[in-house]
Amino acid sequence: MTHEPNTIDYLMEWLRLAIEADRSAGWQAWSETFDTLFNNWQLAACRQLLQLLKSNDEIAASDPGKAVLVCAAEGMFLARLSCWEEAAKVYWQALATVREYGRPEDRAWLLSNLGSIHYLAGKYEAAQQAYTEALTLYRDLDHLPGQALCHNNLSNLAAEADKRQVAIEHLRAALEIFRTLEDAAGQAIALNNLANLWQLNGEWAAARSCYMEALTIYESQRDLYGQAEVLGNLGLLVLNQGDPETAITYFIRDLALASEIGNRHSLSETLNNLAIAYRQLGQIEEALTYYERSLTLKRELGDRRGELITLANMCRLHLQQAHSEAFEECRALASAIAQSLGDHEALAMLAQMNSLKQ
């Protein structure tokens, strides 16, 4: 059976001829094509593009810089497939090449990417080492965006290790750099993350101040996603402070934005948060209405864990209100999901609630 050429076959041939005719222009075409395919998750085509250049020994021999970029592209490709060890190995190969021709800026961004691969693989000590080395190089180069990125990554690592003060210091450093660069988007992200840490520390005033500053930036940028995220965080902040009425005003605004941008996952979470706020106010029927809406979305999204949690919350309210039939219906549904997930803790909790009903 003969192989019928497809679009990718024609693309590969065109790129091969482009590289042969004019290596510089052909390389640019390859790089732009790979980025487009990678960002659109066309991974099979990405693999073919990598094979096209890896089979061309002249590229590595004539331009080690481009060979490094091919290695980095392959590393990103492998990381997207969650092949962490293979991705790290490719980045180490690229770093070895960089050491030979001495470009510290290339070494810095390779180390930064390698740190992210280690982080995603759960190798936090190796990630820490790579990020720290990258940060040192970026400081030597006076490269502020790279420094901000490393501070942000190191903050994530510290937060993962529950070293909140270290995480806060890194975020403060990143924020200061973003302000120097007049990078509004970077400032907003750093402020939101900083506020999350302040909230975990119980520093309510500091958290609220950072959230409000981030919200102002997102509003000026007309960034609906950012606004929705910060409004949801503000709602949780004041809810945790025992002010459900104010929390509801933030959640309602968050809900409107999530609906506008079509973020159904965020919608389901905000509906759940509204249910909690109304439950705290003692408005049980209103709370159940929001739980029902959240449950519908979680089912549509296939979020079985979220469905289980929502049903369990509804069970508590139905039990509290002595809604026997509604309680039994929710309990049966929740038990079936818990059984399918192998969640014995949830099954025990549901059995305990059932014993209280009896």
* The pLDDT of residue 45: 77
Model confidence pLDDT, tens digit, residues 108-144: 988 998 999 999 899 999 999 999 999 999 999 999 9
23 pLDDT above the threshold of 50? yes
Q: Output 51 or 308, whichever has higher pLDDT.
A: 308
* The pLDDT of residue 28: 75
Model confidence pLDDT, tens digit, residues 320-335: 888 889 999 999 999 9
Confidence of residue 63 (pLDDT cuts 50, 70, 90): low
34 pLDDT above the threshold of 80? no
Q: Output 45 or 253, whichever has higher pLDDT.
A: 253
* The pLDDT of residue 4: 41
Asked if residue 177 lies in contact with residue 135, where contact means CB atoms within 8 angstroms, the answer is no
Asked if residue 159 lies in contact with residue 169, where contact means CB atoms within 8 angstroms, the answer is no
Question: Mean pLDDT over residues 241-268, rounded?
Answer: 95
b/e 317-336 (16+ beta carbons within 10 angstroms → b): bbbeeebeebbeebbebbbe
Show the domains of the chain with their CATH numbers.
60-98+105-162 (1.25.40.10), 183-276+286-293 (1.25.40.10), 303-358 (no CATH)
For the chain, give the mean pLDDT: 87
Percent of the chain at pLDDT > 70 equals: 88
310 pLDDT above the threshold of 90? yes
* The pLDDT of residue 5: 43
38 pLDDT above the threshold of 80? no
Question: Mean pLDDT over residues 274-302, rounded?
Answer: 95
Question: Mean pLDDT over residues 6-26, rounded?
Answer: 65
Model confidence pLDDT, tens digit, residues 158-195: 999 999 999 999 999 999 999 999 999 999 999 999 99
Question: Mean pLDDT over residues 60-80, rounded?
Answer: 72
Question: Mean pLDDT over residues 225-247, rounded?
Answer: 96
